[in-house]
Structure 1
Amino acid sequence: MNFYNCIVSFSFVILFTIQSFSQEDFYYRVWQLNNQDSIAGFKTTFLIDKPDKIKTQFGESLYFDGINDGLLINHNPVAGFTNFTIEILFMPDSSSNLDNYEQRFLHIKNSDDSRRILIELRLVRNNKWSLDTFIKSENSRCTLIDTSLQHPTNQWYHVALTYSDGLMKHYVNGNKELEGKVDYQPIDSEAKISIGVRQNMKSWFKGTISYISFTNKSLNPEEFLLLRKIHY
């Protein structure tokens, strides 16, 4: 299945300054997921249950069971960003529940759901998965998915979603898979983020998440912050 649907309407928190981006302020936030009760200093709420803390090659990480493990944080890490890059270091698991093939593992939205960012996957046959990303702003939206682009489960991956100047792109292990046009509008500081599930507690993720980073620029693959952690 190939699906490309874009509608454009015409009506640990860490801050760093990178010298190579001297023309404007550049900073990123890195979240290490190694505590169920607090991430990057922000208190979490369990949706419905909490993920397990496990040891991985990247240190302690959080394992989500794909049934009822999810976290909600009353904070928006991309608040006010006009451009952005979101990176995730994770290992998707195969699912024993055949109905749970749509798995959302990062969801940012404002209070009335008019602006939204989703990073998710689709489980396909033979224990493989495809990346699925979505951006919505009022009357503009874009979904990027191509289920012919498949990756084995039970391996560590770096995924990234970038946005700049009306164009969103997504990557797996530094390789661009898809891009599309969307009129993204910044999401306000009152928005929330969920990890491991949609905020309405549907589409549970099964697998492990180690790190998430948020940058206020659309990075190129050679600039990705978490990609260097993957050895493939």
Structure 2
Amino acid sequence: MHEAAAPLATIWRFDDLRRIGGAPVRVEGDPQIVRTDAGPAVRFDGADDALFIESHPLAGARQFTVEAVFRPDGGEFAQRWLHLAEQTADAPEGAYPPVPPSGPRMLFEIRVVGTSWYLDAFTTGPGYNKALIVPEKTFPVGRWYHVAQVYDGRTYRSYVDGVLQAEADIAFQPQGAGYASLGTRINRRDYFNGAVLSARFTAAALTPDQFTRELPAQ
């Protein structure tokens, strides 16, 4: 009896900011590639550093897993550091990326309180709108973490280091092709202070034992 093949994933690494995951990138501000013992990461200053990527790697997916390895370094209360957005006809004229900031999207944010943070995983589209956020579940800033959000066709879940944070049933609908931002909201608000090592996007619902395990040394 053969084991089922692992689902295909799109992996974003940050050793060349001209293209990520094969997609063109627009760089704003001065994000820096830094070295870790797990490979290169990209460092954002929390002021104006951002990457805009011509890809929504989960477009068309009915189930999904978004994973990332990141290090929050404190700063402002609300910080959006990964934003996937569908391109729709109502994008502001002349805007780049050409997506509406309030259209179908999925994202990771953090909330910083003193020297701690907590996770905000969010997705919205026609017929669904859900934030998975638990202010009581906090973690120290200045350390590397693995975070994930997963949708299995019924239940939407968020994780930090493989530990469930929150879950809710939603009527998710696949999102269309679009763009992504890293280090900020896609309309350039709520900039991120910290670093991102990698992101992995899978059009299937993974379980925590299938998550990537590549945290740099703390």
TM-score, with length taken from structure 2: 0.88
How many equivalent pairs are there? 204
How far residue 195 of structure 1 moved from its aligned partner, in angstroms, is 0.7
Relative to structure 1, the CA distance from residue 60 to residue 26 in structure 2 (aligned partners, 3 Å threshold; closer, same or farther) is: closer
- Is the partner of 2:44 in helix, strand or coil? strand
- Which whole-Å deviations, capped at 9, do the CAs of 1:83-121 have from their partners, x for residues lacking one? 0101001111022xxxx2111111111124431101111
Gap regions ≥5 residues in structure 2: 89-101
Q: Counterparts of 1:70 and 1:133 in 2: how far apart (Å)?
A: 19
- Which whole-Å deviations, capped at 9, do the CAs of 1:165-204 have from their partners, x for residues lacking one? 2211000000011001221111112x11111111100010
How far residue 21 of structure 1 moved from its aligned partner, in angstroms, is 2.9
Alignment of 1:189-204 (within 5 A): 189=177, 191-204=178-191
- The match for 1:121 is 110
Q: Counterparts of 1:231 and 1:52 in 2: how far apart (Å)?
A: 19
- The match for 1:87 is 67
Gap regions ≥5 residues in structure 1: 1-18
Q: Counterparts of 2:205 and 2:121 in 1: how far apart (Å)?
A: 15
Q: Counterparts of 1:58 and 1:159 in 2: how far apart (Å)?
A: 16
Q: Counterparts of 1:209 and 1:178 in 2: how far apart (Å)?
A: 22
Relative to structure 1, the CA distance from residue 29 to residue 180 in structure 2 (aligned partners, 3 Å threshold; closer, same or farther) is: same
The AA in structure 2 aligned to 1:107 is H
The AA in structure 2 aligned to 1:203 is D
- Is the partner of 1:169 in helix, strand or coil? strand
TM-score, with length taken from structure 1: 0.83
**Farther off after superposition, 30-39 or 200-209:** 30-39
The AA in structure 2 aligned to 1:121 is I
Q: Percent identity?
A: 29
Contact 1:87 1:160 in 2 (8 A): yes
CA RMSD of aligned residues (A): 1.7
- The match for 2:195 is 208
The AA in structure 2 aligned to 1:32 is R
- The match for 1:20 is 3
Q: Counterparts of 1:107 and 1:21 in 2: how far apart (Å)?
A: 31
- The match for 2:49 is 69
- The match for 2:81 is 105
Counterpart check, 1:227 vs 2:203: no
- The match for 2:152 is 164
The AA in structure 2 aligned to 1:123 is V
The AA in structure 2 aligned to 1:52 is Q
